[in-house]
Amino acid sequence: MALAFMPIPVFAIDLTGAFLMAKQADPKFQAAKSTKEATTAQSWSDRSAYLPSYQYSRQQLPTLNTTNFTQSLTQPIFDVSKAATFAQGGPKSTLAVANFTTSTQDLATRTLEAVNQIVLANEAITANRSQIEALEFQYKGAQRKYELGQGTVTDLLDVQVKFEQAKANDLTLKATLLGAKDQFAALTGQYPDKSDFILPNKHETFQIEALDSILTKAEEQNPNIVAAKANESIAKYDVIKTAGTVLPTVGFTVQKTNYSGTSSNNNGITVTIPIAVNSYLNTYATYANAATSTSNRMQTELQTKVQAQKLYALIEAGQESLKIKWKAMDTARLSVVANQKSYEAGVKSTTDVLIAIQTQFQARNDYAQAATGQATNLLNLLLVAAEDPEKAVERTQAFLFRK
C-alpha cells in the first residue's frame, strides 16, 4: 500500500528520447501511420485484380412459387486494364513505405526544431543573467565612484538603465522559454525538466561522409525520390489501364442458372468488346498525368541533389565558424573582466564596460545559434542521404549534447 505514495522517478529527456515520445504522441505522425496502412491495403487490393470473381443473384417473383438464381465464377485470361492494376500493386506498396519514411523524417526535424527553441531560450536566459550580474557589479562600482566624487551621475544612470533593461528582458526570455516548452509538450506529450537540453561548454567537430557518397545514397534511397519514382510508375500504368478499357477482354466463366425449377450449367470462354467514347478521351488525360509525374520526378531528383550540396557546404563552413564563435565568446568573457578592472583603475570609461558586457551577451547567443544551426544542418543532411531517422537523431544528439 505504501508503494502508491512513493514518488514517481523523473528521467532526463534527451533528443533521442524526445523523438521516440513524439512518435507516440504527435497527431500528424499518427495520421501518417493510418495513411500508410490505407495505401498498403490498396496495393494488396490491386494485386488481387487477376483473381477469379464470383457473382450470385437471386430473384423471387410474386407470380411464381419458385426461386430463380444465377451464380457464376469468372477467371480473367486477357484483360489489359486488370493487368495494369495488378502491376500497380508494387509501386503503391513502395509509395506507402516512402511516404511514411518522409513523415518520420519530418517528425525528426520538427522534434529538433522544438528542442532547439528550448536550447536557445535557455542560453539567452543564461547569457542575460550573466549580463545582469556584470551590470550589477558595474552599477555598484559606478555608485561607489560617484559617492567618492570620482564618477559622474551620468555614468551611474547609464549603468542603471542597462541594468533595469536586462532585468525586464529576463521576464520576456522566461516567457519565451515557457512557450518553447509548451510547443515541445504538444509534440511529445511531456514537459521537459529545467535540466534538460543544456548545451555543453564547447562542441567538437564531427566526421561526415564524402559528398559523392551522400549524393549516391540520396539518388538511390532518398524517400522523396523513391516516392516520385513510384508515382511515375503508377501514372504510366494508369495510361495502360485506361487504354485497356477500350480493348477486348477474355475470361473463362463457369455459370449455373436455375429458372422456374429448371437448372442449366454453362462453361466457356467469355469475350467482351467495350465501346465507350469517354474511355478514348480519358487516355489523353492519363498521358498528360504521366508526363507530369515524370517532370515531378526529375525536379525532385534535382532539388534533392542541390539540397545535399548546400547542406554539405554549410556544415563544412559551420565546423570552422563554430570554433571561431566559441573563441569569440570566451574572449568576450575575458574582455568584460579586463574592462571592469580598467574602469576601476580609471583607464576605461563606463561606455567601454557597457559595450563589453553587451558584446559578451551577444557572443554567447551567437554561439548557441551557430550550434543549433549546425545540428539542424547535420540532421537534414543525414536524412537527405536516407539515413534511418532514429540513427540520424542519435548522431545529432551526440554532436549537440555531447557529455
pLDDT digits (tens, 9 = 90+) for 310-352: 999 999 999 999 999 999 988 988 888 888 788 777 777 777 8
pLDDT for 53 beyond 80: yes
- Cα–Cα distance list, 292 to 238, 306, 341 (Å): 13, 21, 70
> pLDDT at residue 11 above 70?
no
Q: Determine what percent of the chain is predicted with pLDDT higher than 90.
A: 48
Q: What percent of the chain has pLDDT over 70?
A: 92
The domain spans of the chain are 24-41+55-400
Mean pLDDT confidence for 27-37? 94
| 153, pLDDT greater than 60 | yes
Whether the pLDDT of residue 29 is over 50: the answer is yes
Task: Supply the Cα-derived Rg of the chain in whole angstroms.
Answer: 35
The predicted pLDDT at position 280 comes to: 64
Distances (CA, A) of 72 to 75, 257, 262, 271, 377: 10, 9, 16, 15, 62
pLDDT of residue 214: 95
Binning pLDDT at 50, 70 and 90, where does residue 7 land? very low
Q: 9-13, 24-28, 394-398: which range is least confident on average?
A: 9-13
Q: Which of 42, 46, 142 is nearest to 99 (CA)?
A: 42
Please say if the pLDDT value at position 2 is more than 70: no
pLDDT(263) > 70: yes
SS (H, E, C) 253-305: EEEEEEECCEEEEEEEEEEECCCCHHHHHHHHHHHHHHHHHHHHHHHHHHHHH
- Give per-residue pLDDT as tens, 369-397: 999 999 999 999 999 999 999 999 999 99
Mean pLDDT to the nearest integer, 265-276: 78
Closest CA to 378 of 320, 324, 314: 314
Q: Residue 1: its pLDDT value, please?
A: 39
Mean pLDDT of 16-38: 94
Q: 100 pLDDT exceeds 80?
A: yes
Reported as a pLDDT band with limits 50, 70 and 90, residue 227 is very high
Residue 81's pLDDT is: 87
Which pLDDT value is given to residue 222? 96
What is the Cβ-side half-sphere exposure of residue 389, based on CA atoms within 13 angstroms? 21
Please report the pLDDT score of residue 10 as a whole number. 47
Architecture of domain 24-41+55-400: Up-down Bundle (1.20)
Q: How far is CA 71 from the centre of its chain?
A: 52
Of 75-84, 132-141, 304-313, 353-362, the range with the lowest mean pLDDT is 132-141
pLDDT at site 362: 87
Query: Which tops the pLDDT comparison, 292 or 136?
Result: 292
**Average pLDDT of the residues of the chain:** 86
- What whole-number distance in Å separates Cα of residue 91 and Cα of residue 228? 10
pLDDT of 6 higher than 50: no
pLDDT band at 62 (very low <50, low <70, confident <90, very high): low
pLDDT above 80 (res 259) = no
